[in-house]
Amino acid sequence: MSAESKEVVVVLVSASAAVKVKNGPQLPLDLTLDPESYTLHSSRLGAAGDANGADKDEHTLPDGTIVLLAVTAVDVEMKPAKVELTLRENTKTALTGSLLVANADAVEQLVTAESARKVKIENKADKAVTVEILTCRDGDDG
């Protein structure tokens, strides 16, 4: 397992997507944020069940109000990979590919617990995966 994190001061973050139902509605999900900063954490995890524990990592979320949480997990072929996230104490969430939460209240419900704000990651795939966690935050009120 290898991991690195960095925090950068930014001026603008945008995301553009749409949910389309065949022969049904289409919901645009465009957003633009002006956060104080962002943090990018990247982990390369070994295959599930790695004897040395290289299939696991832990990332401490930054202080302040997190207004965006984005997670991607891909295998060596850049295809969506299956990982397990623990966002709150002992609450595990299966994730294949990606997760985007762009609402401060929703992010707070996902990650706030009585212990430190941490995201635990465990690879559930039979090959190495890369997981990236992007958080955008406002202020130092956390």
Domains of the chain with CATH codes: 2-8+38-138 (2.60.120.10)
User: Which tokens is 116 given?
Assistant: 């430190």
**Is the pLDDT assigned to residue 59 strictly greater than 50?**
yes
Q: Edge-to-edge, what's the strand order for the sheet holding 91-96?
A: 56-60, 118-123, 82-88, 91-96
pLDDT of amino acid 113? 62
Model confidence band, residue 142 (pLDDT cutoffs 50, 70, 90): very low
If residue 120 lies in a helix (H) or strand (E), which one and from where to where? strand 118-123
**Is the pLDDT assigned to residue 83 strictly greater than 60?**
yes
**Is the pLDDT assigned to residue 34 strictly greater than 90?**
no
Torsion on CA atoms 31, 92, 127, 136, rounded to nearest 10: 30
Where are the alpha helices (H) located in 7-129, listed in sequence order? Answer: 104-111
What's the count of helices (H) and strands (E) in the chain, helices before strands? 1, 13
pLDDT of amino acid 89? 72
* Range name among 10-14, 46-50, 110-114, 116-120 with the lowest pLDDT average: 110-114
**Is the pLDDT assigned to residue 93 strictly greater than 80?**
yes
